[in-house]
Amino acid sequence: MPSHDVQFDAPFTSWACSCGEGGEQRPGWPAGYQIVEHGVVTTAPLLPLLRESQLVTAMRLSVAASRPHSVAAVELLIGNGFWLHDRRVRTLLRGGWDAGRLTVRVDWTAVAQALGVVDEALRTIKWSQARPEWMADVLDAWSGMPDPETAIPLTESEASDVMLLRYATSIAGGMPVTLSNLGSHHLDPHDRELVMEAIQRIATNR
Ligand SMILES: [Zn+2]
């Protein structure tokens, strides 16, 4: 298997990977987009083969330099465990490379879409008085998306896990979490504890 260690110049005009791929920045494309795309394409065959421990390591590495919200959301999924094995969520994971090491990030926009909470999220953003330029990014990402290939309905048997995934999605997006739901029957005691830990993680900035 070739190694993937990507180098690029700053400001971004070209990139080169140790596997031999590389090129110039495409005019009009976001800087670094090709690196992200290269990561997604070259890791796609690996993702279905990952053992849980490898997936956890790669997920943690993907948020190692991120803000506490991102870490808390990922730790919520790891602590709950259910979604690491779920085939629908596995299709919403995106691989990449960090100095040759595999990273796996969660495509939270796609998760929100699969959960059917996009409208809810947009309403929340509206009421949270988010910065307009940030809202524009979110709207761009969500508007015009096709119907989700995977749907994760709030079914009886997985209700607590689905609620937890909804919380993780809210947290990842930096959107306010409806605390009143923590007392509902949808979240089992262990999951409720994990959500509280996630909120505490953000509050204490760890
Ligand atoms: Zn490469």
pLDDT in tens, 85-101: 898 899 999 999 999 99
Is residue 32 located within the same domain as residue 93? Answer: no
Is residue 26 located within the same domain as residue 102? Answer: no
Distance of CA 186 from the midpoint of ligand 1 (Å): 43
DSSP the chain: -----EEE-SS-SEEEETTS-EEEPPTTSPTTHHHHHHHHHHHTTTGGG--HHHHHHHHHHHTTTS-HHHHHHHHHHHHH-GGGS-HHHHTTEEEEEETTEEEEEE-HHHHHHHHT-HHHHHHHHHHTT--HHHHHHHHHHHTTPPPPSS-----STTHHHHHHHHHHHHHHTTPPP-GGGGGSTTS-HHHHHHHHHHHHHHHTT-
Distance of CA 64 from the midpoint of ligand 1 (Å): 21
Look at residue 202 in the predicted model and tell me its pLDDT. Answer: 85
Task: Express each pLDDT in 137-158 by its tens digit.
Answer: 655 655 555 566 678 877 767 7
Distance of CA 17 from the midpoint of ligand 1 (Å): 5
Look at residue 79 in the predicted model and tell me its pLDDT. Answer: 96
Look at residue 173 in the predicted model and tell me its pLDDT. Answer: 77
Look at residue 115 in the predicted model and tell me its pLDDT. Answer: 84
Distance of CA 139 from the midpoint of ligand 1 (Å): 31
Residue range(s) defining the domain that contains residue 23:
1-43
Is residue 78 located within the same domain as residue 116? Answer: yes
Look at residue 21 in the predicted model and tell me its pLDDT. Answer: 95
Look at residue 140 in the predicted model and tell me its pLDDT. Answer: 60
Where does a domain end: 26, 43, 60? 43
Distance of CA 107 from the midpoint of ligand 1 (Å): 21
Whole-number Å distance between alpha carbons of 14 and 53:
34
Is residue 93 located within the same domain as residue 151? Answer: yes
Is residue 125 located within the same domain as residue 195? Answer: yes
Distance of CA 61 from the midpoint of ligand 1 (Å): 18
Is residue 197 located within the same domain as residue 141? Answer: yes
| Low-confidence residues of the chain: pLDDT under 70 | 119-149, 156, 174-185, 206
Distance of CA 5 from the midpoint of ligand 1 (Å): 6
Give the global pTM.
0.82
Look at the chain and report how many structural domains it folds into.
2
Distance of CA 41 from the midpoint of ligand 1 (Å): 9
C-beta atoms surrounding 190 within 10 Å = 12
Distance of CA 8 from the midpoint of ligand 1 (Å): 12
Is residue 87 located within the same domain as residue 118? Answer: yes
Distance of CA 1 from the midpoint of ligand 1 (Å): 10
Is residue 23 located within the same domain as residue 70? Answer: no
Is residue 139 located within the same domain as residue 192? Answer: yes
Is residue 20 located within the same domain as residue 66? Answer: no
Is residue 102 located within the same domain as residue 38? Answer: no
Is residue 34 located within the same domain as residue 62? Answer: no
Look at residue 205 in the predicted model and tell me its pLDDT. Answer: 79
Look at residue 40 in the predicted model and tell me its pLDDT. Answer: 95
